[in-house]
Chain A
Amino acid sequence: MNLRKSLSSFLVCSLFLLSFSANAELSIQITQGSDNPIPIAVVPFSWQGNGVLSEDISQIVMNDLEQVGEFSPLSRSNMLSMPSGEQEVFYSDWRLLAQDYLLVGKIDRTPGSQLVQVQYEFFDINREIKLAGEVLTGSVTQLRDIAHEISNVVFEQVTGTRGAFTSQILYVVAEYMNPERTNFRLEKSDYDGQRAQILLESVEPIMSPSWSPTGRDVAYVSFETDLPRIYIQNIATGDRRQITNYPNLNSSPEWSPDGTKLAMVLSKDGSPDIYVQDLTTNELIRVTDHPLIDTEPSWTADSRSIVFMSERTGQPQIYQIELGASSFNVERLTYDCFQCLNAKFLPDGVNLVHVRRETRQDPNYQIAVLNIETLRVITLTDTSLDESPSISPNGSMIMYATKFNGRGVLDAVSIDGAVRFRLPSTQGDVREPAWSPFLN
């Protein structure tokens, strides 16, 4: 485990970005829970040092586990004992409370330094065994990172799926100031909306943030020159460069999974079509060629094909094309919707997440998943203006933008539709979430 290393590199970044810290923090709200969650006890971690710690690690772990829906953490007031290490654990206490799993821990100052060390242990109550345990070291400003790291371990031990609690999100906030002025911000935060930082501010629109597969850079569209142009910005340093200046529309940048190319939409040759720019040679390849709108490119996992939306048959539908194939050689993926838009594959390469308007009469735009082998469609949301779905790096949840009380908010839903949570902001319209890849 290279947590110490990754935490210290994180420290450098966070110091750098401290001054840009956004005042409008998001906070989580669970709007729909799982039917059959796993009971788990997360005991408050004991703290041996002086003073009060800025973060409550066990509370952060509880929030993490509850938000994704698979777990039902035991209320602290119902605990019969509060062990902080293995020797204090009595399995019978926890069996009595019908708990399946138990997490305990303690936090100490590292002698002679400003660092703290967090020791945690994780137990299976039914089998009466310790499943995991280690000591993590970091500064007090990194307690949230340590807590999310522990959540990852717990999640993976129980579900077999890698946890995404240390991942982050990018999103755009539009704050209406007066009829002449709206402020746009590109922000980054933890996956749960905490620790928001401003990456870019502008009085002109900012759109379509896309993570590089390393998580180090972001590509986006900014109208700062009065025209939509694509930029790439280093997240830690803030260094940025404009990478397109083609006539007309330059939009929808999307990094290939292998990191070598950027798919984009350009209308320099008449109408919006899909292009791919090689990021080392800057060579530009035209992928689609159709007089009607082609847009919203996304990549297949092998970086060899592009999924996109086209209105070539009259209404927006989803198509796929292999790079290097003739522009006529497109495969249509959706048929049974009035409009299907903004599609991307889950990591399994079979399930296609998209925005769906079922019929012409039904005015709702919702997030749905189409299995392209069985053609089964599951609609995951029940609000009416849902868009910009973005998939968590472990494929377990989808974050998307919707409207609540007339304001743009971010919601997340599990891929089976069972669990949902919301990240409300205190100011402005929040939109276009982009979930990071695994960052460590």
Chain B
Amino acid sequence: MTKQSIQTVKMGLMVFSLFALVACSSTSDTEEGAMGGEGSSNSDSSNNGSARTNPGSTSGQLTQEEIRAENALRQTVFYFDFDIAEFKPADRETLSFHARDLAANSSKRIRLEGHGDERGTREYNLALGERRANSVLNYLIVNGASRSQIEVVSYGEEQPAQAGQSENAYSRNRRVEVVSR
């Protein structure tokens, strides 16, 4: 038991130092933003052509595109329909921004955590959570992210976002979370 708690503390320290690393590596926001623009223009051939980079952006002013990218990257939870392993078409554009961000920041690492609602058996939901995370993973890779940047894990129904047996709770629990590492 004591060993366990020491392990937990160790893990906590590791997580903390990872955060510290991430914080250090993303100090120069402007540079990252510029690279982000580059990345998006690189990958726009495979996309919906929404990458309208604004060359005339004055210093300190974010372009439309940059604002959209920032908003997109702020969305880190993607919800799924019952018994469906593919992400919703409406999330496609947001995920494209995540993919470009990864492509532009090769040192960035994320973890895709798949979850399900409590209906059906635990092992089935564990497998289903992995399929959900994989559907996001494949999309990110196709859109420029590198496989080595992304870890996938499924929690099945073990970590619900919302307790209870309501349809509302279920829909909040069927999700993939993008977690920075």
Interface residues of A (CB under 8 A from B): 20, 174, 176, 182, 200-203, 205, 207-208, 223-224, 226-228, 248-249, 251-252, 265, 267, 271-272, 293, 295-296, 309, 316, 339, 341-342, 355, 357, 363, 365, 385, 387-388, 403, 406, 431-432
Which secondary structure dominates chain A's binding surface?
strand
Q: Min CB distance, A239 to chain B, in Å?
A: 11
- Bitwise, B50-91 to A at CB < 8 A (1) or not (0) is 000000000000000000000000000000000000000000
Known: A202-B4, A205-B158, A223-B155. A249 touches B121 (CB 8 A): no
Partner of B122, one of A200, A339, A387: A387
- The answer for the CA separation of A205 and B125 in the assembled complex, in Å, is 14
A208-B122, A249-B126, A387-B121 given; name 12 further pairs at CB < 8 Å.
A174-B158, A223-B158, A224-B11, A228-B126, A249-B127, A249-B154, A295-B127, A296-B123, A342-B121, A342-B123, A355-B121, A432-B122
Q: Min CB distance, B140 to chain A, in Å?
A: 16
Interface residues of B (CB under 8 A from A): 1, 4, 7-8, 11, 118-124, 126-128, 130-131, 152-156, 158-159, 163-165
Q: Are A20 and B1 in contact (CB under 8 A)?
A: yes
Q: Min CB distance, A283 to chain B, in Å?
A: 24
Q: In the complex, what residue of chain A is closest to B5 when comparing beta carbons?
A: A201
Known: A182-B159, A248-B130, A293-B131. A208 touches B123 (CB 8 A): yes
Q: In the complex, what residue of chain B is closest to A174 when comparing beta carbons?
A: B158
Known: A223-B155, A296-B121, A385-B118. A207 touches B126 (CB 8 A): yes
- The answer for the CA separation of A432 and B118 in the assembled complex, in Å, is 13
- The answer for the CA separation of A346 and B38 in the assembled complex, in Å, is 62
Q: Are A295 and B124 in contact (CB under 8 A)?
A: yes
- The answer for the CA separation of A342 and B165 in the assembled complex, in Å, is 21
Partner of A252, one of B123, B155, B159, B165: B123
Q: Which residues of B contact A363 (CB under 8 A)?
A: 119
- The answer for the CA separation of A224 and B119 in the assembled complex, in Å, is 25
Known: A176-B163, A201-B4, A365-B119. A309 touches B124 (CB 8 A): yes
The 8 A-B residue pairs with the shortest CB-CB distance in the complex, in nearest-first order: A205-B158, A293-B127, A272-B127, A341-B121, A342-B121, A295-B123, A296-B123, A387-B121
- The answer for the CA separation of A372 and B68 in the assembled complex, in Å, is 58
Q: Are B120 and A341 in contact (CB under 8 A)?
A: yes
Q: In the complex, what residue of chain A is closest to B14 when comparing beta carbons?
A: A226
Known: A201-B1, A202-B4, A388-B121. A406 touches B163 (CB 8 A): yes
Q: Are A224 and B130 in contact (CB under 8 A)?
A: no
Q: Are B120 and A293 in contact (CB under 8 A)?
A: no
Q: Are A388 and B4 in contact (CB under 8 A)?
A: no
- The answer for the CA separation of A406 and B7 in the assembled complex, in Å, is 33
Q: Are B121 and A205 in contact (CB under 8 A)?
A: no
Q: Min CB distance, B108 to chain A, in Å?
A: 18
Q: Min CB distance, B151 to chain A, in Å?
A: 8
Q: In the complex, what residue of chain B is closest to A226 when comparing beta carbons?
A: B153
Q: Are B124 and A293 in contact (CB under 8 A)?
A: yes
Q: In the complex, what residue of chain B is closest to A294 when comparing beta carbons?
A: B127
Q: Are A265 and B1 in contact (CB under 8 A)?
A: no
Q: Which residues of A contact B128 (CB under 8 A)?
A: 293
- The answer for the CA separation of A356 and B159 in the assembled complex, in Å, is 24
Partner of A403, one of B8, B120, B158, B165: B165
- The answer for the CA separation of A296 and B156 in the assembled complex, in Å, is 14
Q: Which residues of B contact A207 (CB under 8 A)?
A: 122, 126, 156, 158
Q: In the complex, what residue of chain A is closest to B155 when comparing beta carbons?
A: A205
Q: Are B120 and A267 in contact (CB under 8 A)?
A: no
Partner of A249, one of B11, B120, B130, B163: B130
